[in-house]
Amino acid sequence: MMLTLLDVVLGLALLFAALSVFCSSIVEMISARSGLRGRYLRHSLFHLLGEETLYRRLIHHPAVAHTVRRSGARESAPSYLATERFVAAVLDIIPNRATAMGIAGFAEKPLPADMDPQAAEFARAAAFIGECGIAVGIPLSQLAMRNGKSLDQLRKALSEWFDSQMDRAGGWYKRLAQRLLFAVGLVVALVLNVDTVQVARALAHDPALRLLVAAPAARVASEREIELAALLDANRERGLPVGYLCLSEADRGVEESIAYCRKQLGQSSWLELLLKGVGFLLTALSVSFGAPFWFDLLLKVSNLRATGARVGTAKKG
C-alpha cells in the first residue's frame, strides 16, 4: 500500500516537474519580451535609492551603463545588476551627489580615527544627503561608520546590504512570477488535457502504468532535467490520460476536437465537470510551485521508495 502511494506521488511529481520546466520557460519568455524583470529592477533600485537623480547617476555610471538597453532616446532598465557593479557605482555616486548638493558647507561630523580616507569621505557624503532628505543616506552613513577601517571591508558591507535589500524587494517579482506561472500552467493544462484527478486515478488503478511512469524518477531527480514532450510521448501510449490521443485520427483536427469537447460537455454530469475543473486547477496550482520544488520532492520520495523496497525485500527473505 505504501509503495503504491509512493509510486503515485512519484508519477505526479515527475509530470509536474516537466510541466513546471516547460511553463517556466514560457514565463521567462513573456518576462523578457515585456521587460518585466527590467521594470521590477528599476522599481526596486528607485525605491532603494529614494531619488530620481541618484537612480539616473547609477544607471549612467560606467560600471552599470553597458547593461542599460537603449533605443534612440529611450532607455530600458537592465534586467539584472551584479552586486559588485552596484557597489562600484554607489561608492562614486554618493560623494558626487553630495558635492552637487553643496556639501562644502556641511559641518564636519566626528568620524572614527582609524577610518579609511575614501570610506570616511563616503560616510560624510552619505550623512549629508541623508540630512538633505534622501533617506538612503542615513543607513549608508551608519554602515560606512561601522565598516570603514578599509575599503575592502566597506565594499563587503555594501554588498551584503544591497543583497539583503534586493532579496526583500524581490518578493514582489516572485509573487507576480508565481501568478504568471499559475496562469500559464492553467492554459497548458487545458491545451494538453492534463487533469491531475484523472492522472492520479489512472496511476492508482494501473500497476503497470504506475511502475513505468515512476521508473525514471530517481534519474530525473539527480539530473534535474526533463522534457515535457519526451515524457508525454513516452507515456501516452502506455495509458497515461493526458493529451487527446484518445480521439480517433479523424477527430484530432481543431474543429473536430472542439466538437468532441462540446459533445462530452453535454453528456457530462455537473459532478464530472466539477471534478474536471478541479483537476485542471490542481495542475495549474502544482505548476506554480516551480520546478525546483518538484525536483526536490522527486529526490526525497525516490530515496524513501528505495528504502521501503529494500525493507520489503528483506522481510520476504
How large is the average pLDDT for residues 200-220? 82
CB 17 within 8 A of CB 223: no
Give the whole-angstrom CA distance, residue 109 versus residue 106: 9
Cell 460537455 belongs to 265
Contact predicate 158/82, CB 8 Å: no
Per-residue exposure over 128-137, b if at least 16 CB sit within 10 Å of its own CB, e if not = bbbeeebebb
**Whole-number Å distance between alpha carbons of 153 and 11:** 50
**pLDDT-wise least confident of 16-20, 52-56, 250-254:** 250-254
Say whether pLDDT at 316 is over 70: no
Mean pLDDT score of the chain, rounded to an integer? 83
Average pLDDT, stretch 3-25? Answer: 90
158-170 tens-digit pLDDT:
999 999 988 887 7
Q: What percent of the chain has pLDDT over 70?
A: 80
CA 168, 170, 172: angle at the middle one, nearest 5? 105
pLDDT in tens, 103-150: 876 756 677 778 899 999 999 999 999 989 998 999 999 999 999 899
Residue range 210-218: average pLDDT?
A: 77
Supply angle C-alpha 23, 204, 20, rounded to 5: 10
Task: Return the CA Rg of the chain.
Answer: 28
Give the whole-angstrom CA distance, residue 155 versus residue 87: 6
Residue 289's pLDDT band (cuts 50, 70, 90): very high
Q: What is the pTM of this model?
A: 0.69
Distance CA 145, CA 247 (A): 72
pLDDT range class, residue 266, cuts 50, 70, 90: low
Look at residue 235 and tell me whether its pLDDT is greater than 70: no
Q: Which amino acid is at 249?
A: E
CA 192 from chain center: how many Å?
23
User: Measured between alpha carbons, how far is residue 222 from residues 24, 96, 170, 295 in Å?
Assistant: 20, 51, 28, 8
Burial class (CB in 10 A: 0-12, 13-18, 19+), 89: buried
Give the mean pLDDT of 185-209. Answer: 90
User: Residue by residue, what is the 3-state secondary structure of 41-60?
Assistant: HHHHHHHHHCCHHHHHHHHC
Those residues with Cβ within 8 angstroms of residue 274's Cβ, 6 or more apart along the chain or in another chain: none
pLDDT at 151: 93
At 67-93, the pLDDT tens digits run 877 665 566 667 788 999 999 999 999
What per-residue confidence (pLDDT) applies to 22? 92
